[in-house]
């Protein structure tokens, strides 16, 4: 789940993009990059690590120009350790283009072959985002009028991208000599918003994965980029928009609301915080229905993401709510760290129990989701060690049973604690006295309550329904095999590098 930004401004873009990346850091902790356009030159700096580690003063000084794009990476294709896969990516033909991508292409392999054989383009990494950039470059080449591009030909190229690419993609790109281009896949699986800042010189535009970046950087929210839509801002600050697909249908990823996005963001007309409050209410009602005789003394959230749901659940059931775990503010998100060993270690580094809140009590621990079970296993044990009598566990999302192929790194069924297990078996695995999950329909209602216009969600990790229609069991097997092969082929150096990356994320 990467974070992307793009700006056309009347003042230097470098600091603005850096500050924007800092508030999108929760979307990717493995690599970061910024590209700016200054006259005829594209400046690019990227590398592995957190935003604050990748950019030094000298790098920032070199990022000249008032237009730029930026990216934080959470890898879902290729590898976490290959710094060549950090974004933005650059190509020099038919125009200088830099691109940042959030999502995951499901036909990247096939496209890579096509690019080589038909389009005479070489893709140098295992990143699907480099494939996407080359598809865009090829489409721009075939739609350009000789050496000239205009908004019509740029939008025609995006239509070409929609026809060739499958999967999830929210994209920002700079086309040298022309301007900033952004677009969203035809289902709008990954989020993308536009903001404006009115200045005496004219309007400045900012495109971002989440509205929190607009708030922080002083831009006014204009609207979400629609699924299938492209937005083009030229270097004179003129905004052009067009729907580039006849088959667009909004189906945003429901996991953005459960976990990924910041609660202070509004995505597709839905406040993430509000949707999490509703998740708590629905879960409370289910709990009252199916556990009428269970005595709970205190509701305790697992910081950070479950806090709004846990609070609202406790309110609804009129049970005491207490913070029982202290989170080390210098540790990053564990779920998006590379490598299970590091994820496991960092749960203990990240969270510590306050004995007083557990001793002699029946506690209900609430988390937003249980994916690999790394957090829940550790936390249940910590609650017992702290003296809890009974430890009940509630998840504000349903069991995660299916791989995600649209930009969340859970490609293998074997990694998911809920695959092939009943709720009772999962409960035993995490060591709780009882476990309750949100129902999928209730989760959808929680999110829809804030915007009833959304008919469909991309919820494949919960229901195994893949909205793009191209995901077969054979495809999933192949992704899973690719993943295990990748792990088996990893060298000791790769392991060391992965560990260092995770250590740097864990010292946030």
Ligand X SMILES: O=P(O)(O)OC[C@H]1O[C@H](OP(=O)(O)OP(=O)(O)O)[C@H](O)[C@@H]1O
Q: Which of residues 106 and 305 has its CB atom nearest to Mg ion in the complex?
A: 305
Task: Give me the least distance between CB of 171 and ligand GLN, in Å please.
Answer: 10
Residues 402-461 interacting with ligand GLN (rule: CB under 6 A) = 407
Task: Check residue 76 for interaction with ligand GLN (CB under 6 A).
Answer: yes
Burial of 247 (C-beta count, 10 Å sphere; 0-12/13-18/19+): exposed
Torsion of Cα atoms, 481 then 410 then 269 then 198, to 10°: -90
Is 338 a residue that touches ligand GLN (CB under 6 A)? no
CB of 382 to Mg ion, least distance (A): 14
Least gap, CB of 284 to ligand X (angstroms)? 19
369: partner contacted, choices Mg ion, ligand GLN, ligand X, none (Cβ within 5-8 A by kind): ligand X
Task: Select 129 or 305, whichever has its Cβ closest to ligand X.
Answer: 305
Nearer to ligand X, 373 or 398 (CB): 373
Q: Are strands 351-353 and 362-367 parallel, antiparallel or unpaired?
A: unpaired
Tokens encoding 99: 């691109």
CB 133, min distance to ligand GLN, A = 11
When the beta carbons of 282 and 335 are compared against ligand X, the nearer one is: 335
- Confirm whether residue 305 is marked as ligand binding: yes
Residue in 193, 333, 216 with CA at minimum distance from that of residue 270? 193
Which one of 106, 127, 261, 334 is in contact with ligand GLN (CB under 6 A)? Answer: 127
361 binds ligand GLN (CB under 6 A): no
The verdict on whether 2 is a catalytic residue reads yes
Interaction site with ligand X (CB under 6 A): 259, 302-305, 333-336, 367-376
Binding to ligand GLN by residue 134, rule CB under 6 A? Answer: no
Binders of Mg ion in range 267-326 (CB under 5 A): 305
Confirm or reject binding of residue 128 to ligand GLN (CB under 6 A). yes
259 binds ligand GLN (CB under 6 A): no
- The CA-based angle 243-28-262, given to 5 degrees, is 75
Cα–Cα distance between 182 and 92 in angstroms, integer? Answer: 19
Closer residue to Mg ion, CB minimum distance, 252 or 303 = 303
Exactly one of 25, 36, 67, 104 binds ligand GLN (CB under 6 A); that residue is 104
- Does residue 394 contact residue 287 with C-beta atoms inside 8 Å? yes
CA distances from 56 to 22, 24, 107, 212, 440 (A): 14, 19, 37, 24, 45
Closer to ligand GLN at the Cβ: 5 or 311?
5
Three-state secondary-structure class, residue 378: helix
2, 244, 427, 461: the active-site residue: 2
- Residues forming a β-bridge with 286: none
User: What single-letter DSSP state applies at residue 347?
Assistant: H
Least distance (Å) from ligand X to the CB of residue 129?
Answer: 23
Judged by CB under 6 A, the stretch of 14-22, 55-63, 100-108, 485-493 that binds ligand GLN is: 100-108
Q: How far is the CB of 34 from ligand X (least distance, A)?
A: 25
CB distance 158 to 145 below 8 Å: no
Give Cβ neighbours of residue 115 (< 8 Å, ≥ 6 apart). Answer: 121, 122, 123, 131, 134, 135, 138
CB 36 within 8 A of CB 54: no
Q: CB of 208 within 8 A of CB of 20?
A: yes
Binding segment for ligand GLN (CB under 6 A), chosen from 73-81, 141-149, 237-245, 385-393, is: 73-81
Side-chain half-sphere of 51: how many Cα atoms within 13 Å?
A: 23
Is 411 in contact with 471 (CB distance < 8 Å)? no
The single residue among 43, 45, 73, 345 that binds ligand GLN, judged by CB under 6 A, is 73
Q: Please count the other Cβ atoms lying within 10 Å of the Cβ belonging to residue 236.
A: 8
Closer to ligand X at the Cβ: 188 or 308?
308
> Which among ligand GLN, ligand X, Mg ion, none contacts residue 373 (Cβ within 5 to 8 A by kind)?
ligand X
Burial of 39 (0-12, 13-18, 19+ CB in 10 A): exposed
Q: How far is the CB of 48 from ligand GLN (least distance, A)?
A: 12
Nearest CA among 154, 179, 171, 258 for reference residue 208: 171
Q: What is the DSSP letter of 239?
A: E
Residue 129 near ligand GLN by CB under 6 A: yes
When asked if residue 343 is in the footprint of ligand GLN (CB under 6 A), the reply is no
How many residues bind ligand GLN (CB under 6 A)? The answer is 17
Q: Which residue is nearest to ligand GLN (CB)?
A: 2
- Binding residues for Mg(2+) are 305, 367-368
The residues that are catalytic are 2
Which residues of this chain interact with Mg ion, rule CB under 5 A? 305
Which residues of this chain interact with ligand GLN, rule CB under 6 A? 1-2, 73-78, 85, 101-104, 127-129, 407
């Amino acid at each position: 789940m990467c974070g992307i930004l793009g700006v056309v401004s009347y003042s230097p873009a470098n600091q603005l993009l850096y500050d924007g990346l800092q508030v999108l850091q929760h979307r990717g902790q493995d690599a970061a990059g910024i590209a700016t356009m200054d006259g005829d030159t594209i400046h690019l700096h990227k590398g592995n690590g957190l935003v604050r580690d990748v950019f030094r003063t000298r790098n920032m000084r070199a990022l000249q120009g008032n237009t730029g794009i930026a990216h934080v990476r959470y890898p879902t294709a290729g590898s976490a350790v290959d710094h060549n896969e950090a974004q933005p990516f650059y190509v020099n033909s038919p125009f200088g283009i830099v691109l940042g991508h959030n999502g995951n292409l499901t036909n990247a392999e096939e496209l890579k072959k096509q690019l080589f054989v038909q389009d005479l383009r070489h893709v140098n990494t295992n990143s699907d985002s480099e494939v996407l950039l080359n598809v865009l470059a090829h489409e721009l080449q075939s739609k350009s009028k000789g050496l000239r591009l205009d908004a019509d030909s740029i939008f025609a190229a995006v239509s070409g991208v929609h026809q060739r690419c499958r999967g999830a993609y929210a994209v920002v790109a700079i086309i040298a000599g022309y301007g900033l281009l952004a677009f969203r896949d035809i289902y709008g699986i990954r989020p993308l918003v536009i903001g404006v800042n009115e200045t005496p010189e004219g309007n400045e535009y900012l495109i971002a994965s989440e509205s929190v970046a607009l708030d922080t950087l002083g831009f006014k929210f204009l609207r979400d980029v629609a699924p299938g839509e492209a937005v083009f801002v030229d270097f004179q600050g003129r905004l052009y928009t067009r729907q580039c697909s006849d088959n667009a249908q909004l189906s945003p990823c429901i996991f953005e609301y459960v976990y990924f996005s910041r609660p202070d963001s509004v995505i597709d007309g839905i406040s993430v915080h509000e949707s999490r409050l509703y998740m708590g209410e629905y879960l409370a009602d289910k709990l009252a229905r199916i556990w009428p005789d269970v005595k709970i003394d205190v509701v305790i959230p697992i910081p950070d993401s479950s806090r709004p749901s846990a609070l609202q659940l406790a309110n609804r059931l009129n049970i005491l709510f207490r913070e029982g775990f202290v989170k080390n503010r210098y540790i990053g998100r564990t779920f998006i760290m590379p490598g299970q060993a590091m994820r496991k270690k960092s749960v203990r580094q990240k969270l510590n129990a306050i004995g007083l809140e557990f001793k002699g009590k029946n506690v209900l621990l609430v988390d937003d989701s249980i994916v690999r079970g790394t957090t829940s296993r550790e936390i249940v044990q910590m609650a017992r060690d702290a003296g809890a009598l009974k430890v009940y566990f509630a998840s504000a999302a349903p069991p995660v049973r299916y791989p995600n192929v649209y930009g969340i790194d859970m490609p293998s069924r074997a990694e998911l604690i809920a695959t092939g297990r009943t709720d009772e078996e999962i409960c035993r695995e995490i060591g709780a006295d009882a476990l309750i999950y949100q129902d999928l329909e209730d989760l959808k209602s929680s999110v829809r309550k804030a915007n009833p216009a959304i008919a469909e969600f991309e919820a494949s990790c919960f229901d195994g329904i893949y909205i793009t229609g191209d995901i077969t069991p054979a495809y999933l097997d192949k992704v899973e095999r690719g993943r295990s092969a990748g792990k088996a082929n990893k060298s000791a150096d790769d392991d060391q590098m992965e560990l260092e990356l995770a250590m740097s994320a864990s010292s946030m």
